[in-house]
Amino acid sequence: MSIQTIMVIGAGQMGSGIAQVAAHAGFQVILHDQSMSFLERGLGNIGKNLNRQVEKGKLTEETKGKILSQISTSTELTNARDADVVIEAVVENMQVKTEIFKKLDEICQPHAILASNTSSLPITEIAAATNRPEQVIGMHFMNPVPVMKLVEMIRGLQTSDEVYQTIEELAKRLDKIPVSCKDFPGFISNRVLMPMINEAIYCVYEGVATPEAVDDIMKLGMNHPMGPITLADFIGLDTCLYIMEVLYEGFGDSKYRPCPLLRQYVKAGWLGRKSGRGFYVYT
């Protein structure tokens, strides 16, 4: 199928990043969120990202203007009727996502493909909320979207070969590298990453080492660009906890049990960089 218009649902860090790369690739983009204040913040983030590229000489002012002109905003989900592909990038909550997909199924054109940027939730279950499960797929971008090359491609139980191939080609047109995996809790990225982060937090919880020491060992000894504790703060401790809970519930294996300290920090509102305090303090 020919893709011309992409709607991105959610103007947060992930959604605005997806909108930016889609517009840069020449697609007409509809950026949707519940309020204009969220949309303005998302557009502001896109503008800042593009300005940095202009300052570094990677982008001209003319190209920047063209990218921004490709993006329109929406506070009405009914605008999804104009999209060939919808990419959902809202909060990592199954009830919220299935409600959105049920509405999209009623609004979108019959040919439209519905993709979710979920980082851990089962695509098959999300697809079951629609009458087009064969046209639902997981398209998990990495953060920050304009920089990271990977798109984790997740086929639901009923995702058709044609839809997979179409979205794989779309990912390539967005200058990303699509990598396929099956629909299991956490997929590959978070099934491997989150237990490492959780174990790093256990090291702090048990008094084995300070957050700084844990990060230094992983950076200097394992050549990680960012330590696991810093990375947890960057991702958001609430998101880390939610993904660990999905893994724990999905597999029923004690090795995925969230660290009590992680749960305590989330209850305290210490969510990491976005709240100004996590394992580190941000000013």
Q: Note if 140 is an active site residue.
A: yes
- Whether residue 189 is annotated as binding a ligand: the answer is no
Residue 69 sits at the vertex; the CA angle it makes with 139 and 90, to the nearest 5 degrees, is 30
Half-sphere exposure of 104 (CA within 13 A, CB side): 33
Q: Which residue has the tokens 């200058």?
A: 175
The packing angle between helices 211-222 and 228-235, to 10°, is 110
3, 166 in Cβ contact below 8 A?
Answer: yes
Query: Per-residue DSSP letters for 127-160?
Result: HTTSS-GGGEEEEEE-SSTTT--EEEEEE-TT--
Q: Which is the catalytic residue, given 16, 24, 117, 140? A: 140
Cβ within 8 Å of residue 199, ≥6 positions away: none
- Whether residue 267 is annotated as binding a ligand: the answer is no
Q: Note if 106 is an active site residue.
A: no
- Whether residue 233 is annotated as binding a ligand: the answer is no
- Whether residue 12 is annotated as binding a ligand: the answer is yes
Dist. CA 246–CA 183, nearest whole Å: 13
Q: Which is the catalytic residue, given 49, 74, 117, 119? A: 119
Q: Is the dihedral of CA 220, 222, 226, 227 positive or negative?
A: negative
- Whether residue 143 is annotated as binding a ligand: the answer is yes
- Whether residue 236 is annotated as binding a ligand: the answer is no
Tokens of 160: 């058709």
| Residue whose C-alpha is closest to residue 100's, from 123, 116, 124 | 116
Q: Which is the catalytic residue, given 24, 116, 152, 198? A: 152
Q: Note if 119 is an active site residue.
A: yes
- Whether residue 158 is annotated as binding a ligand: the answer is no
| Residue whose C-alpha is closest to residue 114's, from 6, 27, 246 | 6
Q: Which is the catalytic residue, given 45, 49, 190, 198? A: 190
- Whether residue 213 is annotated as binding a ligand: the answer is no
Dist. CA 261–CA 192, nearest whole Å: 20
- Whether residue 11 is annotated as binding a ligand: the answer is yes
Q: Note if 125 is an active site residue.
A: no
- Whether residue 10 is annotated as binding a ligand: the answer is yes
**Alpha-carbon dihedral angle through residues 105, 174, 148, 112, given to the nearest 10 degrees:** 10
Residues with catalytic function: 119, 140, 152, 190
Which residues make up each annotated binding site for NAD(+)? 10-15, 33, 92, 97, 119, 143, 274
Q: Which residues are annotated as a binding site?
A: 10-15, 33, 92, 97, 119, 143, 274
